[in-house]
């Protein structure tokens, strides 16, 4: 089978002429360009302009808050004070231990005195042979009228 092509494939000339129905380069609408394809053929095509990346906005620099500055300045001072207190306690530890022993001894002496003094007074009264003096008897009568009334009273010996 022999195949013959009754027509011939041609490409558009570089400068199209109005007689062949092609448009002039000045008549090309915006966004359409004459492009060359990889095979060498030239044709009209819609193209998009290259987009430039939008620069990212730089965040505004905020000042450091006053409380943060104060805290940052106080932190080493407080840490140094705690360290100095630790060193001082390590030097004072033997004296503090001795002081606690002395304080416990004082507490024991006070407790012994609180118990021994009344016993000694009781023993001394019983040795003298005198009976203890009777406590005086006082009677008091108080009367009041109403919830918030003025109270009056009498004392009888």
In the prediction, which pLDDT does 109 show? 93
Q: What is the mean pLDDT of residues 111-124?
A: 88
Calculate the average pLDDT of the chain.
Answer: 80
Q: Alpha-carbon distance 102 to 108, whole Å? A: 10
Give the pLDDT confidence of 43-68 residue by residue, as tens digits: 878 877 667 777 888 888 889 999 99
Q: How confident is the model at residue 17 (pLDDT cuts 50, 70, 90)?
A: very low
Query: Do residues 42 and 11 make contact, with C-beta atoms less than 8 angstroms apart?
Result: yes
pLDDT at 122 over 70: yes
Predicted TM-score (pTM) of this structure: 0.28
Least confident of 14-18, 65-69, 111-115, 138-142: 14-18
């Amino acid at each position: 089978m022999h195949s013959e092509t009754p027509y011939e494939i041609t490409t558009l000339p570089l400068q199209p002429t109005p007689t062949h129905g092609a448009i002039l380069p000045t008549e090309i609408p915006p966004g359409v360009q004459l492009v060359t394809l990889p095979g060498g053929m030239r044709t009209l095509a819609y193209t998009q302009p290259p987009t430039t990346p939008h620069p990212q906005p730089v965040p505004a620099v905020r000042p450091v808050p006053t409380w943060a500055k104060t805290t940052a300045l106080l932190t080493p001072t407080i840490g140094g004070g705690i360290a100095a207190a630790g060193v001082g306690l390590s030097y004072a530890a033997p004296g503090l231990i001795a002081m606690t022993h002395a304080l416990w001894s004082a507490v024991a002496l006070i407790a012994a005195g609180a118990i021994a003094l009344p016993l000694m007074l009781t023993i001394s009264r019983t040795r003298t042979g005198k009976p203890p003096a009777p406590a005086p008897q006082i009677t008091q009568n108080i009367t009041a009228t109403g919830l918030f009334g003025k109270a009056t009273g009498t004392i009888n010996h």
